[in-house]
Chains A and B, each alone.
Chain A
Amino acid sequence: MTDRPLLRMKGITKSFLGVRVLHGVDLDLYPGELHALVGENGAGKSTLMKVLAGVHRADEGAVELDGTPVSFDHPVRAQRAGVATVFQEFNLLPERTVAGNVHLGREIRRRGWVDVRAMERATGDLLDDLGLEGISPRAKVRSLSVAEQQVVEIVKALSQDARIISMDEPTASLADHEVEVLYRLIARLRERDVALLYVSHRLKEIFDLATTITVLKDGHRVDTVAAGDIGPAELVRTMVGRPVSQVFPDRVEPRGERVGEVRLDVRGGGNEQVDGVDLTVRGGEIVGLAGLQGSGRTEIAQALFGMERFTRGEVRVDGRRVDPRSPRQAVRSGVVLVSEDRKTQGLALNQSILANGRLALDAVWPLGARRRSRRIPGILESLELVARGGHGQEVRFLSGGNQQKVVLAKWLAADPGVMVLDEPTRGIDVGAKQAVYRLMRELSAEGVAIVLISSELPELIGMSDRLVVLDDGRVAGELPADSSEEAVMAMATGAPPDEAPEQDPERHDPRTLGGGPPVSDPPENGPRSHPEEAAP
């Protein structure tokens, strides 16, 4: 490792629509190192990576490559300068061969014609060099596995003489043995003095692979440490360690008839994304679903709401067995979902507040819609919806908080028994957040069973009566309402040994079979490895 960083990012600041997501972040990247970028959801990892890749431009701050200041305003510029990024979605043409993709846009020509053979030879050499003889340069990308496609992305980067490769959750969609291939490839890349920037939620990988770890939190760089100087427990603490500054409204005295009755009961629910989900929510209860992105929180919400289905297990709402195949059936059975993306899934933006508010009634109970919709102005009123144009105003002109209130009003009009709230306060201002919190308290006092999904741990802990922690599509355990953030994060990442409960051994956790860097690390058979074992 040389003393001079290959890449130096200084004081990177970036805002989106007035929300600052990066606050003066510094990052140095040395040749041959793997620099892991960790942090909670929304900490700014991906944004920082995209600034480096030239997808976003930093508002402030400087990037130096080899001591020369650079500013990438386009991904292609970054690539030419030797900075390649492997995103979660690959940018490959499925109908072309591996060689064709590797040389896409830079085809080798001979007398004006594309020299396919030369391209295949060059690609083959590169693949051999990396010890990846298994992939034929002539294979069509469509026929490759996800991991192989990822390899092609990396080879493509290398063929452009990339000196820096950044990867965003590269193992997210890989199976166990495929992760091994990636580990090997990463070791080869480091031998070639390529600097790697690596984002992952999986602590084991980070301790397996990283030489340096930078922790981001709410857009600030908290710390940069050598991987050997920190343990997983301490890392988790650094990731979440924030003062709980938000204040949540007090619980309201329950008054509804159905308080205490089991309103939602999921037994052994499972499909392609989640498995063995047991979830019981009583009227008057707010149950928080905690977990990292991709842990299955949203998938459970979608299955309850009929967007996906549980193919195993059973769901009961108010004691009746239900198997919703569409949102409509879910709504009829009394389950509603406030989805995390209100603009594409929650609202018809060009329609009026009132039209959106009564849409569920119009769609599901057309005969009583007119009568029942008379309540909507009152509901909007109680949500303190503020619209200058009155209730005839189109919702696209409303702020995020008010739009969310319209979505809530739509579902309140349907008198739900079970309400699933997926990131209900995302992108809304503090005042509207408080209104949403108060509404949740009111509803639960009236006997509605509420399932809350949120990436903001303080919110989840502050609002929930009980936390169900998910990890990789399964329930990792339950925690009481007053649990610490560290305990939740630990369970969600499967970090410290004392918190992690026994897991079903039938299902392999991709993390456990990582194999590790070239040093042979016999695959552990335990369902869950403890990062300590993997830490250097």
Chain B
Amino acid sequence: MSTTRPAAERTPRRNPLSMLSGGTATVALLLAVVFAVIATQNPSFFEGPPLMSFARMAAPLVLLAIGQYFVIVSGEFDLSVGSLVGAQVVIAARLIDGDPSRTLPVLALMLVFGLVVGLVNGLVTTVLKVPSIITTLGTMLILFGAVRYWTGGAPTGELSEAFRLAGRGGIEGVPFLGQLPYALIIAAAATAGAVWLMRSSYGRSLMATGDNDVAAAFSGVRVWRVRTTAFVLSGLMASVAAVLIGGFSGVTAQVGDGLEFTAITAVVLGGVVLGGGRGTVVAAVLGALTVEALFTLFTQLYLPATIQPTVQGLIIIAAVAYASRRGDLRLPERLRRRPGHPTERPLGTSRR
């Protein structure tokens, strides 16, 4: 009955470990190399406590990278997370003002605030059709300015010890590691949750939306809801990251500055291609660890921290150039669409 022939299928170059495809293997290798260099500089790095303190430092970035991953994989950007983290820490300090009994209500409020910011970002992008890079740039400036206006440039108040526990504390007396930081547990749980989510129907719809939102919409995906949810997840992740960061940083107006770019760098380094539809959560997490490890390495080499943005810029360009050479890079659908077959008129379709 079959007359179908495999019309010269091109088999893609596949990684033998399909789990590690989509740039995951590359970034894992990169992380190993950076760790190896760190080990040569500081052989004691891999003895429990230093490693755990590294994990504690890296946890917020991991959370932000996961949030950013959801947004980027859906084909959008979220530039507002850095400002959101800053705003959250300042608000928390002011509202708690050293009173431990207010810790839990304030934590809840922070989550709600992150959710609302994500919802606004998402709805403005999907319903008002403002490009997300503009929407979140706007949100970033709004939060940045609002925090400075509200605090007069000098944040007041103080976080409670209970609040700082999540970022600072840990389970004591773990063999070899010493203290197992709560931050690490939270980041690991978030990673596991994100991996599960991306395998669910929601994650599959999100991925398809980032790949081709027209085809996704025509398959029944509510593109606006899926994308808005991604922004909300990003806002929630930023809130949790703010709790961790509040645990070990001082309360200043500078908290969170530039974190959005660090998160994007981490995600891009993980091979989650800008434009959406590709890459894994694990790659984004490994990307975050790699960026943090690089910063650690710089500290060990006595390089000034001020050089970090420059390095991030180099990483972003190099990673995207690498991806586009491999043919992984895809322009967003709207930029990619060309007139169809010359004898056919392209069907006019709305973007979403």
A residues lining the B interface (CB < 8 Å):
16, 21, 41-42, 44-47, 50, 55-56, 88, 293, 298, 305, 307, 326-328, 331-332, 337, 339-341, 344-351, 355-356, 358-364, 366-367, 369-370, 384, 386-389, 392-394, 397-402, 410, 426-427, 429-432, 434-435, 438
Closest beta carbon of chain B to A427's beta carbon, Å: 7
On whether A47 and B212 interact (CB within 8 A), knowing A327-B220, A363-B201, the answer reads no
Chain B contacts for A431, CB-based, 8 A:
2-5
Q: Which residue of B lies closest to A19 (CB)?
A: B341
25 contacts between A and B (CB under 8 A): A16-B342, A45-B343, A50-B342, A55-B342, A88-B345, A307-B349, A331-B219, A332-B220, A344-B212, A345-B214, A346-B218, A348-B216, A350-B277, A351-B277, A359-B221, A363-B221, A384-B4, A386-B4, A387-B9, A388-B11, A389-B9, A393-B12, A429-B5, A435-B3, A435-B4
Residues in A whose Cβ lies below 8 Å from that of B3: 430-431, 434-435
Q: Is B128 interfacial (CB 8 A cutoff)?
A: no
Partner of B7 from A50, A293, A366, A402 at Cβ < 8 Å: A402
Q: Which of B156-164, B203-211, B246-254, B261-269 contacts A (4 or more CB under 8 A)?
A: B203-211
Closest to A385 in B: B4
Determine if B6 is an interface residue (Cβ-Cβ < 8 Å): yes
Other contacts beyond A346-B215, A366-B201: 13, CB < 8 A: A42-B344, A46-B343, A293-B345, A332-B220, A346-B218, A348-B277, A358-B204, A359-B205, A363-B216, A363-B220, A386-B9, A389-B9, A438-B1
* A21 closest partner in B (C-beta): B343
Least Cβ distance of B278 to chain A in Å?
A: 6
Among B7, B211, B220, B343: residue with most chain A CB under 10 A: B220
Interface string of B75-107 (1 = CB under 8 A from A): 000000000000000000000000000000000
What is the CA–CA distance of A326 and B352 in the complex, to the nearest angstrom?
A: 11
Expressed in whole angstroms, the Cα–Cα distance for A3 and B290 within the complex equals: 77
Query: How many Å lie between the Cα of A328 and that of B218 in the bound state?
Result: 7
Contact present for A348 and B207 (CB under 8 Å) = yes
Contact with A along B275-286 (1 / 0, CB 8 A): 001100000000
Q: Is B347's CB under 8 angstroms from A355's CB?
A: no
Interface string of B42-53 (1 = CB under 8 A from A): 000000000000
Asked if B217 CB lies within 8 Å of chain A CBs, one says yes
Tell me which residues across on chain B come within 8 A of A393, comparing CB atoms: 11-12
Q: Given the known A-B contacts A340-B347, A362-B205, A389-B12, are A384 and B218 also in contact in the complex, defined by CB atoms under 8 Å?
A: no
Verify A326–B204 contact, CB threshold 8 A.
no
B8: chain A residues at CB < 8 Å are 399
B330 close to chain A: CB less than 8 A: yes
Contacts of B344 in A (CB 8 A): 42, 426
In the complex the two chains form, is B12's CB within 8 Å of A394's CB?
yes
In the complex, the answer to whether B220 meets A348 with C-beta atoms within 8 Å is no
Contact of A331 among B11, B200, B220, B333 (CB under 8 A): B220
Contact B216 A298 (CB under 8 A): no
Is B10 an interface residue, CB under 8 A from the partner?
yes
Contact of B347 among A46, A298, A363, A429 (CB under 8 A): A298
Closest residue to B221 on the A side, CB-wise?
A363
Most buried by B among A339, A344, A363: A363
Cβ-based interface call for B325 (8 A): no
B201 touches A351 (CB 8 A): no
Nearest opposing residue in chain B for A430, CB measure:
B3
Q: Is B337 an interface residue (CB 8 A)?
A: yes
**B16 close to A (CB within 8 Å):** no
Task: Name B200's closest neighbour in chain A (CB-CB).
Answer: A366
Q: Which B residues are in CB contact (< 8 Å) with A41?
A: 343
Contact assessment for A363 and B9 in the assembled complex, using a CB-CB cutoff below 8 Å? no
Chain A residue numbers with a CB within 8 Å of B221 are 328, 359, 362-363
Instruction: For B1, list chain A residues within 8 Å (CB).
Output: 438
Residues from chain B with a CB closer than 8 A to the CB of A397 are 9-12
Complex: A319 Cα to B16 Cα, angstroms: 52
B222 and A388 form a contact (CB under 8 A): no
Contacts of A402 in B (CB 8 A): 6-7, 9
Chain B min CB distance to A369 (Å): 5
Q: Which residues of B contact A332 (CB under 8 A)?
A: 220
| Cβ-based interface call for B326 (8 A) | no
Which residues of B have CB within 8 Å of A392? 18
**Chain B contacts for A16, CB-based, 8 A:** 341-342
B4–A348 touching, CB < 8 Å: no
Q: How far is the CB of A68 from chain B (nearest CB, A)?
A: 27
Render B5-35 as a binary contact track against A, CB cut-off 8 A, 1 for contact.
Answer: 1111111101000100000000000000000
Report yes or no: B5 in contact with A344, Cβ–Cβ below 8 A: no
CB contacts (< 8 Å) of A305 on chain B: these are: 218
In the assembled complex, the Cα of A118 lies from the Cα of B52 at a distance in Å of 77
In the bound complex, CA of A16 to CA of B339 (Å): 14
The chain A residue sitting closest to B209, CB to CB, is A348
Residues of A within 8 A of B337 (CB): 344
Of the listed residues B4, B5, B212, the one surrounded by the most CB atoms of chain A closer than 10 A to its CB is B4
